[in-house]
Amino acid sequence: MAITTGYTSEELRTIGAPPTYQGQQLREIAFPLGGIGTGCVSLSGAGELVDWEIFNRPNKGTRLPYTFVSLWVRPEGGEPLARVVQAPPQPPFSGEGGGGYRGLGFGVTRENGSGLPHLRGATFRGEFPFAEIAFEDPTLPVEVRLEAYSPFIPLNPDESGIPIAVLRYHLRNRSDRPVVLTLAANVFNPIGYPGTGPFIGEHLGENLNAYVDDGAVRGIACTSTRLAPEDPAFGTLALTTTWPEVTQQACWLRSGWFDMMHDFWDHFATTGTLEPRDLGPSEPGTSDVGSLGLRATLQPGEEVVLPLAYSWHLPNFQKYWAASGSGACACGEGTVWRNYYASQWEDALDVARYYYRHAERLYADTKRFHDALFASTLPPYVLDALSSQASILHSPTVLRLTDGTFYGFEGCHCDSGCCEGSCTHVWNYAQTAAFLFPSLERSMRDADYTYNLRDDGRMCFRLQLPLGSSQWEYHAAADGQMGGVLKVYRDWLLSGDDAWLRGLWPKVKKALEYAWVQWDPDRDGVMEGVQHNTYDIEFVGPNTMMGTFYLGALRAGEEMARYLGDEEAAASYRACFDRGRARLERELYNGEYYIQKVDLETAPKYQYGEGCLSDQVIGQWFAHIVGLGYLLDPAHVRGAVAAIHRHNWRADFWEHANPQRIYALNDEQGLLLCSWPRGGRPQFPFVYSDEVWCGIEYQVASHLIYEGLVDEGLMIAKGVRARHDGERRNPWNEFECGSHYARSLASWSLLTALSGFRFDLPHGTIGFSPRLGAANWQSFWSTGTGWGTFSQRRYNGRAEANLCVEQGSLTLRDLLLGSVGEATGAQAALNGDALAVTLAPRAGGVALQFPEGVTITAGQILRVSLKR
Amino acid sequence: MAITTGYTSEELRTIGAPPTYQGQQLREIAFPLGGIGTGCVSLSGAGELVDWEIFNRPNKGTRLPYTFVSLWVRPEGGEPLARVVQAPPQPPFSGEGGGGYRGLGFGVTRENGSGLPHLRGATFRGEFPFAEIAFEDPTLPVEVRLEAYSPFIPLNPDESGIPIAVLRYHLRNRSDRPVVLTLAANVFNPIGYPGTGPFIGEHLGENLNAYVDDGAVRGIACTSTRLAPEDPAFGTLALTTTWPEVTQQACWLRSGWFDMMHDFWDHFATTGTLEPRDLGPSEPGTSDVGSLGLRATLQPGEEVVLPLAYSWHLPNFQKYWAASGSGACACGEGTVWRNYYASQWEDALDVARYYYRHAERLYADTKRFHDALFASTLPPYVLDALSSQASILHSPTVLRLTDGTFYGFEGCHCDSGCCEGSCTHVWNYAQTAAFLFPSLERSMRDADYTYNLRDDGRMCFRLQLPLGSSQWEYHAAADGQMGGVLKVYRDWLLSGDDAWLRGLWPKVKKALEYAWVQWDPDRDGVMEGVQHNTYDIEFVGPNTMMGTFYLGALRAGEEMARYLGDEEAAASYRACFDRGRARLERELYNGEYYIQKVDLETAPKYQYGEGCLSDQVIGQWFAHIVGLGYLLDPAHVRGAVAAIHRHNWRADFWEHANPQRIYALNDEQGLLLCSWPRGGRPQFPFVYSDEVWCGIEYQVASHLIYEGLVDEGLMIAKGVRARHDGERRNPWNEFECGSHYARSLASWSLLTALSGFRFDLPHGTIGFSPRLGAANWQSFWSTGTGWGTFSQRRYNGRAEANLCVEQGSLTLRDLLLGSVGEATGAQAALNGDALAVTLAPRAGGVALQFPEGVTITAGQILRVSLKR
């Protein structure tokens, strides 16, 4: 089959702004707002809050009834106008889903005010953690722009874990007359909601809405007077502002039919005000809606920012799933624990007050991260891939357990996690949290090695909750278990935390050496036998997918053992590695790429045999990220990833026949998990083989870039993001086995690959070697101690590099610059003060050594000038 | 508010082909295939069978797993190509709905073959009862066109009630080489399905697929060996053809994961054949898929029609809803009865064999109806409104009970009827069945007056099932009860069945005179007090909505009483009518339109008071249809409908604030139920007042046309259909309180109004008075004895009219021609044979009298020539 590339090199390398979305592209957009481990609510492309996933589980497709924002404006001497602050509803208008007196055949959902006048259009821009909607409505005398975000600050997981959605409405009077306006937000009190299903029902009753004002923060506080604080459904929700001039109504009219919205809208649209109404706890089976209006008068040309926030506090997490496979959970189903965030704040008002008290700093720090990331010279779709998938950390895919442990599902079913247990093989691909919130990532390692490891070294690959539950009885995952060793190595290099490594080492060693029990008893460095893996089946026989994870783990083990003085282990790992490398090359390299050695006649179903597997050298990808060098012959590796691209990339899917799950189709681009360019496709190849997975695409894209096949890698990344264009799919939801799929956190490796980022904090080393536009480069970097930007310019035989720390600090002995060319002399200065530096050549660049070390703190810049 | 008209007169009056649909307009299309009272399955815009509503209840959004059609082609000397015979899946691709391992976050549904190669595009044309899809795929050597229909023949309800969906695939070799091809259809055996929910589950097991061939008909027969024939879930489904050269597989591979579709597709796509496989009854909890392939070799330029049909036989109807309001059903919930169609055929194969045995005639008769309707000179959107809504009769909105009685829900929830009981006030608006299947319509009257009437004349407005159940305890519906009298009058005029009228008359009289018990005890001809009505609330005080229904019923009563010799009744109805007319004019006409007389201070909520109600003269509309003349002052009536259009028509909805249900929005056009142009809007106007209902729009549009306000009426009809453009809504599903809403059957009155159709079979009279393009007119007509076309031409002082009977017969004494101008002489001929005729002038036209009567039989034409 002829494969065209789909994109030109120029298209791939052009720098510009990330995409914006309009018209039909607004349809699928849902941009998560919330904190790490707090759940989230999402901002739709039209400007609506949707998918209320704050109730300790996913909850796709939900809308909190009547919870919308309206704007009333009256130009001096003119008639008032009122609008729901959303773009118009988009077709289809038949109604969605089923149910009685709703769904298909009942028209557009009405409870969210769809039948009220809307703004005429919107342009959505999403640069996580910020979303911005520029609304359009030529009939209004004011411009309306919404800036929405939740704090997200690298190395600050707790303040990136505030259960709040902040909405900042920018309003500018573009007319020549003063304009009086009211921006009114509504909130339905959902407390009692069981986390899934309709918001209206018998779980409601004695819901209490109250208007509160402590002088600084004011708004509508929602709780329940019926539920005890330890009830799983207990909690609070608050709609607040710090704006001083407000109008409010804690409770809408309680009445039948459509009266309540009639009463609200007719009054508000006419007067721009709300009548205070406080009715006490609601009747059984019902709840109340409250509204908070912010009033302002704008002179011609004047702009104001009206701040609103929805904050929540649903402290009690109830385990709603049974133990995976292994029968009942040790602690019984339905166990309840406290969310970590519940230890930080008392209720939703406390959350809001904390936020507003620190709002300036939280906004500035989040903006600093955003700006550091987006000021890069990376192509826009790469920035988009990095940033958009970081939103998974604000999605219900991740939890923070009571002790703060970071926990991840693989992704999200519509109303439950999917699948449980920080699954080691899926989270093998994930890189974002390791680089942005290394302490969280280390807590995941801690949990893995504390709770998943058995006495014989076999690891459960799904962590059972609550922590301490009995382990799941199932195969070990060959990829997950070996990947764990590489992840420990990465997390140690990023943090420089030797004590942490020492604490884990005996367990890591045991887990690594379990390979010799299960998969490689002859210690020839090659796994054989049953190798359960991330395709949910078992490969048998030697293959380089498991093989490179194993080789990588042996090399990482060697490095860690040596550092810790365990020379015997280091030597044995190395020897095993050498044997394995040789055998894999000998037996699995077919002259173009690496195959699986398997007798399809006798093997179980679901092998790949002679296929060209996209994950065939995945361990090598990870080894590149952590700077371990080549696990296999470099030329063969480079050839293999080129072959993956050549055979598995599809510039369209018109002729692709896929009876499996469908993640790319029609005119889309994507990378298949496998193909059989030389024949030999098994009658039933491994399940998923004909699919396209974003996480694997990022892995391969990144690896191609590491190998210097930059355009090929970029092409794949661009293809992924083109499939998530707002009309086809939500740009902030790359799914696989469910939404916000953790494997897509592999996207962060595009940054490490393109910037050639090296990190070795135990040795005080950091390095960059941009693989694209090295003559004028800027990018974001982060480690366990600080984060900032790196830039370099080359001109006229000179080169200049700036390492800027935005937050935290970085202590260096060596700075490696890989793509600045050769140099004969170097100067260095920290915030303008000259520093002693020595120059050592490295392949393709230089190493700058600071004999006395240098610590760069927040706001400081280390500047290096090189000359030929 | 400034109302623009939205359309020019030229746009409204242009004649042309009904719309076709492409691209995004294919999305919402679901075109019902099935029979009257058999349920249906719908053809999607892309060519897929969706919404399997054959299981005795609605079932929106469902797809029978693996049930798709594929095409394999191999040009001589070339490589084979295989395609699913559907247009490509359309965005979004995120997945729809919830569930585990499916729904949002799991991508496009795969079980329907979405991941297999598809044809590249499609153009859908729907002219009920026929749908046609012209597929496009430049890579194929053949052109592919699907013609789908189910028999639908006026006056032939039984053969319009065959539980079958016929798919005729037209394939033409457009290449210069012979092409071998196989068209393969699949069918999943669903027997045991409870009628709602997923198709896969514990209701399956011991499902049996078998290949059958009786020499004439062959295919896959699906049944269950586990269920007894009286089990509500028992039944049969058959996929059949009469094509002689077939390849078949009764059972797909039984295997795990994705193996079964791998096995099917890999084999079929490679070879174009199917391996026979018969595995006997399925395992518990599972079922089988079968495939039937039709093989042909086409020479260059050759075309072939490959016939396929899915037929079903689910004989046992289980009542799945509780008695409305009144507590338990007399016969207990879950009562099971036999569908009428089950008395006609033994099983799905019997259905198929019957169909194929009569296929030529059934196709020709259905085509005859289609051609008679579409050969009209009506504007295309009017034809579309007539034809598309006739599809309601093939939808699950209607049933035929065991004895053949025609029964209607109001519409359909996604998986149940909504709401029950041939609701008299909703079915007041419906006209289509009365004109196309008058015997069915009369059976609905019979049921109304037999089972809904109480001793005091009060009628239950929701017929309780099974027939004979105790009546529902609730208000009588003032509009429904009075409308019933008008409907009896109509059905008698259409049928000329005096015996039928005589049988019903005592009951009709009692029902009419119940007005004097409940609403008009002083017999002043004006209803007062609590008037429950189609808005699900009660109006109080005089109003012309109830008032004109009442006046119309009195006039119809007068006519029927007089015909039956009940002069006393006739006189008293007339006297009451005269009093009422005078009072309504005196008290409710505000100089522009008719209002409700009500004290809003003391009245219950939900009145309209001074509002301009779209239904304000609905009884007059019905009176026009049945030729009763004016109920109120003609000038006032004309002014009132003009006011309705002026005030309630919206050329867009940008500024409309509607907290109620949303059936029109944004840039759409539509007619509000009410507005208050002179103020006086109640704080809580009647519920639904801010909505737009298709059925009322057709009523008003038709009435405007009857009053000569043709453009205004056409505009409304065009607006309705523009909202159902395939992208916004399904053209074959106008919904209100659910899908396929019966009120839209009012669309047929556009034909009676535009053609000025008069019918009075008891007196042997029929008439036409085209209100549009009368100089060159053609349209469809139907009565209880026959149907056909009427055309007229005017030129050079002459006029010519042709009355053609396509089926049945028509016996006439008088033919009224209302818009042919004056005439001085007339000639008439029946199939060329001169007939005696006399001419009498009538306002705007002539009456042709056939002294000896004339009977026109099928295929005959009565030709009339007139000269000035």
ipTM: 0.95
Rounded to the nearest 10 degrees, the angle between the axes of helix B380-390 and helix B710-723 is: 60
Query: For residue A179, what are its two tokens?
Result: 């304009």
Look at A661 and B110 and tell me if their CB atoms are within 8 Å: yes
Name the pLDDT band for A844 (thresholds 50, 70, 90).
Answer: confident
Digit-coded pLDDT (tens) for B550-587: 999 999 999 999 999 999 999 999 999 999 999 999 99
Nearest-CA distance from A323 to chain B in Å? Answer: 16
Q: Decide if B214 contacts B304 (C-beta within 8 A).
A: no
Token pair of B293 as six digits: 């392939």
Q: Which residue is closest to A119 within chain B, CA to CA?
A: B654
Does A106 sit within 8 Å of B737, measured CB to CB?
yes
For the four alpha carbons of A557, A558, A563 and A567, in that order, the dihedral sign comes to: positive
In angstroms, the first-to-last Cα distance of chain B is: 49
Span A240-266, average pLDDT? 98
The full length of chain A comes to: 868
Residues B60, A416: C-beta atoms closer than 8 Å: no
pLDDT value at residue B834: 96
Q: Which of B106, B269, B654 sits opposite A738 (nearest CB)?
A: B106
Q: How far apart are CA A463 and CA A461, in angstroms?
A: 6
Which residues on B lie below 8 Å from A108 (Cβ)? 662, 665
Please count the residue pairs, one from chain A and one from chain B, whose beta carbons lie less than 8 angstroms apart. 239
Please judge whether A104 and B737 are an interchain contact, meaning their C-beta atoms are less than 8 angstroms apart.
Answer: no
Q: What's the mean per-residue pLDDT of chain A?
A: 96
Specify which residues A165 forms β-bridges with.
Answer: A310
d(CA B484, CA B489): 9
Name chain B contacts of A114, Cβ cutoff 8 Å.
662, 665
Q: Is the separation of the CB atoms in A241 and A217 below 8 Å?
A: yes
Best probe of the A interface among B94, B110, B607, B668, by most A CBs < 10 A, is B94
Q: In this complex, which of A98, A139, A730 lies closest to B414 when CB atoms are compared?
A: A98
- Angle between helix axes A618-625 and A694-706 (nearest 10 degrees) is 60
Tokens representing B826 are 């007339």
Q: State how far the alpha carbon of A759 is from the alpha carbons of A348, A441, A625, A781, in Å.
A: 40, 16, 9, 10
- Most A CBs within 10 Å, among B90, B93, B397, to test the A interface: B93
Which residues in chain B show pLDDT less than 50?
A: 1-3, 325-332
A703-727 pLDDT, tens digit per residue, is 999 999 999 999 999 999 999 999 9
Looking at the complex, report in whole angstroms how far the Cα of residue B670 sits from the nearest Cα belonging to chain A. Answer: 14
Q: Which residues of B touch A657 (CB under 8 A)?
A: 82, 115-117, 265-266, 269
Question: What span, in angstroms and rounded, lies between the C-alpha atoms of B148 and B130?
Answer: 6
Q: In angstroms, what CA-CA distances link A614 with A399, A604, A693, A698, B306?
A: 30, 21, 10, 11, 43
Which residue of B88, B99, B661 is in closest CB contact with A107?
B661
User: What mean pLDDT comes out for the span A782-802?
Assistant: 95
CB–CB contact B662 A92 (8 Å)? no
Mean pLDDT of A334-344: 95
Which of B95, B266, B660 faces A115 most closely, judged by CB atoms?
B660
HEC secondary structure over A696-739? HHHHHHHHHHHCCCHHHHHHHHHHHHHHCCCCCCCCCCCCECEE
Report DSSP state, residue B341. Answer: G
A318-348: b (≥16 Cβ within 10 Å) or e = bbbbebbebeebebeeeeebebbbbebbebb
Angstroms from B374 CA to nearest CA on chain A: 27
Which residues of B fall within a CB distance of 8 Å from A255? 684
Residue partners of B481: CB distance under 8 A and separation at least 6: B424, B458, B459, B461, B511, B514, B515
Q: At what angle do helices A498-518 and A438-447 cross, to 10 degrees?
A: 40
Give contacts of B92 with chain A, Cβ < 8 Å: 27-28, 727-729
| Beta strands at A40-44 and B765-768: parallel, antiparallel or unpaired | unpaired
Candidate from B89, B266, B687 with C-beta closest to A665? B89
User: Distance between CA atoms of B83 and B568, rounded to whole angstroms?
Assistant: 73
Burial of residue B835, with CB atoms counted within 10 A of its CB: 0-12 exposed, 13-18 middle, 19 or more buried:
middle
**Option in B88, B662, B723 nearest A666 (CB):** B88
Pairwise CA distance, residues A392 & A487, whole Å: 19
Q: Between chains, do B657 and A106 touch, taking CB under 8 Å as contact?
A: no
The 10 Å CB-count burial string (b at 16+, else e) for A53-65 is bbbbbbbbbbbbb
Nearest CA in chain A to B417: A100
Dihedral (C-alpha) B478, B480, B481, B485: value to the nearest 10 degrees? 130
Handedness of CA A470, A471, A472, A474 (dihedral sign): negative
Which residues does chain A have within 8 Å of residue B684's beta carbon, measured at their own beta carbons? 255, 257, 259, 262
Return the closest-CA partner of residue B453 out of B534, B507, B502: B507
CB A445 within 8 A of CB A487: yes
pLDDT attached to residue A323:
64
Q: Across the interface, which of A93, A94, A684 has its CB nearest the CB of B665?
A: A93
B542: left (phi over 0), alpha (psi -120 to 50) or beta: beta
User: Under 8 Å CB-to-CB from A577, ≥6 apart: which residues?
Assistant: A525, A551, A554, A555, A558, A631
CB–CB contact B110 A739 (8 Å): no
Q: What is the pLDDT of residue B104?
A: 94
Which amino acid, residue B663?
Answer: Y
Residue whose entry in the numeric block shows the structure tokens 């500047």: A863
Report pLDDT digits (tens) over A376-402.
999 999 999 999 999 999 999 999 999
- In single-letter form, the type of residue at position B463 comes to L
Burial zone of B288 (CB within 10 Å; 0-12 exposed, 13-18 middle, 19+ buried): buried
pLDDT at A334 over 80: no
Asked whether the beta carbons of A267 and A313 are under 8 A apart, the reply is no
Residues 6+ apart with CB under 8 A from A859: A805, A806
Contact assessment for residue B850 and residue B828, using Cβ atoms and an 8 Å cutoff: yes
Alpha-carbon gap: A443 to the closest alpha carbon of chain B (Å): 27
The DSSP letter of residue A319 is P
DSSP state of A741: -
For the four alpha carbons of B555, B561, B563 and B567, in that order, the dihedral sign comes to negative
Q: What is the pLDDT of residues A651-694, one digit of tens each?
A: 999 999 999 999 999 999 999 999 999 999 999 999 999 999 99
- The answer to whether residues A41 and A167 touch, using CB atoms and an 8 Å cutoff, is no
Distance from CA of A604 to the nearest CA of B (A): 13
Q: In angstroms, how far apart are the furthest CA atoms of chain A? A: 90
> Measured between CB atoms, which of A605, A662, A683 is closest to B107?
A662
How many Cβ atoms from other residues are within 10 Å of residue B679's Cβ?
8
Q: Kindly list the residues from chain A whose CB atom is less than 8 angstroms away from the CB atom of residue B738.
A: 105-106
Q: How far is CA A649 from CA A673, B93, B727, in A?
A: 9, 20, 33
Residue A4 confidence class, pLDDT cut points 50, 70, 90:
low
Q: Give the amino acid at A572.
A: S
Judge if pTM exceeds 0.90.
yes
Q: Which pLDDT value is given to residue B284?
A: 97
| Contact status, residue A670 vs residue A719, Cβ threshold 8 Å | yes
Distance from the B5 Cα atom to the nearest Cα atom in chain A, whole angstroms: 20
Q: H or E element: which one contains A263?
A: helix A259-271
